[in-house]
Amino acid sequence: MSKWILSGLVAINAIAQVAPDLPAGKKIFESQCALCHGQTGTGGRGPSLNRPKLAKAPDDESLGKVISFGIEPEMPGSWQLNTREVISVAAYVRSLGAIPPEVLPGDAARGERVYQSKGCGGCHVVAGKGEGYGPELSDIGTRRNGAHLRQAILKPATLLPEGFLYVAVVTQAGATVRGIRVNEDSFNIQIKDARGQFHSFGKAELKELRKLRGETPMPSFEMSAAELDDLVAYLASLKGKS
Ligand code: HEC
Ligand code: HEC
């Protein structure tokens, strides 16, 4: 067993016995977790953590495991933390969840109508309805705070998710297909088009492969301040599939 797996297991087994040091946990969080989860756990590249229930860390043991081992492939493990540090940062994460949920000004029911009238469902799925290549939004309210949602609607290109790439390919026959990269290796690329259809291409067969870095097919939306408040309240209310 490698050294870091061992130290992680020791950390987990010891969770129940060591008292956390909350200020130390806060420091570790701000230096090692905030990059992805936000300074106060409001989310960013990673999900928000200022929630009473974390799906992948429902109890202290699983939270310790997530911190030590990470979550493949997007969250790295913090193998360098010792037991006390893991326990302290876990306690700090729990304290973030004790903060009352954000109060947003809009009205979610009106926001649902804005969502429909703007055609968001042409690119996003909510609870099984909708289609297209945008990310599913069924539980977006558990992952993103109000400020992030606002920015995602007004200036989508400024918030592209890690690894997101919009591409345009031209085949030998001259057909152009635009879509989001799903997979790529040295020889092949697979993309998902606007209708949610998958296409696979051998790179050698393509006339052109353009990577539209920093671009997104999601348009910037303009709407009244009241509509935006309502739409954000609606998205924030989407808490999962159940
Ligand atoms: C490089 C970015 C990154 C760093 C650094 C990072 N995380 Fe994460 N974290 C993520 C991502 C992305 C996810 C979502 C992974 C998934 O669900 O597949 C995640 C998930 C989590 C979850 C589970 C949330 C849930 O909803 O169940 C917890 C808890 C967590 N991280 C805590 C931490 C802590 C504490 C640290 C610092 C010790 C940390 N993370 C460092 C990116 C990161
Ligand atoms: C033409 C397709 C398209 C339309 C229409 C569209 N989106 Fe998107 N949306 C995307 C794509 C692709 C992404 C992922 C890349 C990005 O962030 O721009 C995205 C990202 C998002 C995100 C960020 C998700 C996250 O995890 O951070 C939110 C929120 C969102 N869209 C909401 C909306 C809302 C609300 C509308 C309607 C007002 C809408 N979208 C209309 C394609 C679309």
Q: Which range in 109-113, 126-130, 211-215 is most confidently predicted, on average pLDDT? A: 109-113
In the block, which residue shows the tokens 């989001």? 180
> Could you give the CA distance from residue 70 to residue 66 in angstroms, rounded to a whole number?
5
Whose C-alpha lies nearest to ligand 2, atom 11? 134
pLDDT digits (tens, 9 = 90+) for 138-151: 989 877 889 889 99
> Could you give the CA distance from residue 196 to residue 193 in angstroms, rounded to a whole number?
5
- Span of 20-29, 97-106, 131-140 with lowest mean pLDDT: 97-106
- Confidence label for 4 from pLDDT (cuts 50, 70 and 90): low
Q: Which of 36, 115, 195, 218 has most ligand 2 atoms within 8 Å of its beta carbon, as the pocket-test mutant?
A: 218
Q: Residue 12 above 60 pLDDT? A: no
Structural domains in the chain plus CATH codes: 3-97 (1.10.760.10), 108-153+222-236 (1.10.760.10), 166-211 (2.30.30.100)
pLDDT digits (tens, 9 = 90+) for 134-181: 889 998 987 788 988 999 999 999 988 778 899 999 999 999 999 999
Sequence-ordered strand ranges (E) for the chain: 125-126, 129-130, 166-171, 176-184, 188-192, 198-202, 206-211
> Could you give the CA distance from residue 138 to residue 135 in angstroms, rounded to a whole number?
9
Q: Please tell me the number of the ligand nearest to residue 231's CA.
A: 2
* Ligand 2 atom with minimal separation from the 223 CA: 38
Whose C-alpha lies nearest to ligand 1, atom 38? 33
Residues in the chain: 242
Q: Please tell me the number of the ligand nearest to residue 139's CA.
A: 2
* Ligand 1 atom with minimal separation from the 57 CA: 27
Mean pLDDT of 82-100: 90
Q: Percent of the chain beyond pLDDT 90?
A: 69
Q: Residue 242 above 70 pLDDT? A: no
In the block, which residue shows the tokens 């890690």? 162
Q: Which residues line ligand 1 (CB under 6 A)?
A: 32-33, 35-37, 45-47, 49, 54-57, 63, 66-67, 71, 74-76, 78, 89, 93
Instruction: Output the CA 182–ligand 2 centroid distance in Å.
Output: 17
Sheet holding 176-184, edge to edge: 198-202, 188-192, 176-184, 166-171, 206-211
Q: Is 69 within 8 Å of 57 (Cβ atoms)?
A: no
Neighbouring CB atoms inside 10 A of 216's CB total 19
pLDDT digits (tens, 9 = 90+) for 57-86: 999 899 999 999 999 999 999 999 999 999
79-117 CB burial, b ≥16 within 10 A, e <16: bebebbbbbbbbbbbbbbbeeeeeebebbbebbbebbee
Structure tokens that stand for 117 in this block? 């009238």
Strands 188-192 and 176-184: antiparallel
Average pLDDT over the chain reads 89
Instruction: Output the CA 152–ligand 2 centroid distance in Å.
Output: 7
Instruction: Output the CA 58–ligand 1 centroid distance in Å.
Output: 13
Q: How far is CA 12 from CA 57, 59, 90, 94, 190, in A?
A: 13, 12, 11, 16, 40
pTM: 0.71
Q: Which residues line ligand 2 (CB under 6 A)?
A: 115, 118-120, 122-124, 132-135, 140, 144, 149, 152-153, 156, 159-161, 164, 216-218, 221, 231, 235
What is the full DSSP assignment across 167-210? EEEEETT--EEEEEEEEE-SSEEEEE-TTS-EEEEEGGGEEEEE
